[in-house]
């Protein structure tokens, strides 16, 4: 994958974020998109080899649209400043997300703003066995890779059905349960980029499995 070509395209798109410009450069966009999908296919095979529970996710299935959803975010530009894809995308679970962009590149995973039923399932899992989650996120290598859980809105009070004195109340008040690993442009362009992804994927696995188990019980 020629990520330099991808970065150059996105840089020009950011300066000319319009349907007219995109229509003029549609062939170029499709070529880069096709190359990105092929790269995702290769990564999909690699992740399947290292994780026996991996859910096969071909590039065409994992890749996100480059168009922003203007119905819900009318003030956003027409097109995104990145290419993104979800891997290990089993139905009803949290995926492993990859984003390559000119303003931000990252690897992420977990559950962002789950629906009420899923959120309750995660909180019930923490109530039943929060010690396991604490052990996962307090591991030194986990902290080095992700810092802490993704910072999102929290409830000001204890969730309904939970005591404010609960030993894991800080986790229970979360509205999202996700982690993010930021990537530099140099890392994306490096020869060992794939190895970086694999290392982060492995480190994230126990966290994602904990959440996905909570959703499927």
* Integer CA distances (angstroms), 101 to 7, 8, 82, 98, in order: 7, 10, 4, 10
β-bridge mates for residue 83, sequence order: 100
Question: From CA 208, how far away is CA 205, in angstroms rounded?
Answer: 5
Per-residue pLDDT of the chain (217 residues; tens, 9 = 90+): 899 999 999 999 999 999 999 999 999 999 999 999 999 999 999 999 999 999 999 999 999 999 988 777 778 889 999 999 999 999 989 999 999 999 999 999 999 999 999 999 999 999 999 999 999 999 999 999 999 999 888 888 899 989 898 999 999 999 999 999 999 999 999 999 999 999 999 999 999 999 999 998 6
Q: Using the 8-state DSSP alphabet, how is residue 91 labeled? A: T
pLDDT in tens, 179-198: 999 999 999 999 999 999 99
Question: From CA 54, how far away is CA 32, in angstroms rounded?
Answer: 26
pLDDT value at residue 23 = 95
Query: Would you state the structure tokens that stand for residue 175, as one six-digit string?
Result: 């509205």
Question: From CA 203, how far away is CA 197, in angstroms rounded?
Answer: 10
> Would you list the DSSP string of 152-200?
--B-SSPPTTS-TT-TTHHHHTBS-EEEEEEE-HHHHHSTTHHHHHHHH
Measure CA of the first residue to CA of the last residue in the chain; give whole Å.
Answer: 39
Q: Which of 58, 68, 207 lies closest to 139, judged by CA?
A: 207
pLDDT value at residue 83 = 97
pLDDT value at residue 216 = 82
pLDDT value at residue 92 = 87
């Amino acid at each position: 994958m020629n990520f330099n070509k991808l970065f150059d395209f996105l840089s020009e798109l950011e300066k000319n974020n319009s349907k007219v410009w995109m229509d003029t450069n549609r062939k170029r966009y499709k070529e880069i998109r096709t190359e990105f999908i092929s790269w995702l296919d290769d990564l999909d095979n690699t992740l399947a080899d290292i994780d026996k529970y991996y859910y096969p996710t071909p590039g065409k299935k994992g890749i996100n649209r480059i168009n922003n959803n203007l119905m819900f975010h009318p003030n956003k530009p027409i097109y995104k400043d990145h290419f993104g894809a979800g891997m290990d995308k089993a139905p009803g679970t949290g995926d492993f997300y990859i984003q390559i962009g000119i303003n931000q590149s990252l690897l992420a995973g977990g559950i962002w703003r789950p629906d009420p039923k899923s959120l309750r399932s995660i909180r019930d899992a923490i109530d039943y066995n929060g010690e396991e989650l604490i052990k996962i996120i307090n591991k030194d290598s986990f902290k080095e890779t992700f810092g802490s859980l993704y910072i999102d809105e929290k409830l000001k009070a204890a969730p309904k059905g939970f005591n404010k004195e609960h030993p894991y109340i800080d986790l229970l008040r979360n509205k999202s349960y996700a982690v993010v690993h930021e990537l530099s442009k140099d890392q994306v362009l490096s020869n060992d980029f794939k190895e970086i992804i694999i290392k982060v994927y492995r480190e994230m696995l126990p966290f994602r499995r904990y959440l996905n188990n909570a959703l499927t019980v």
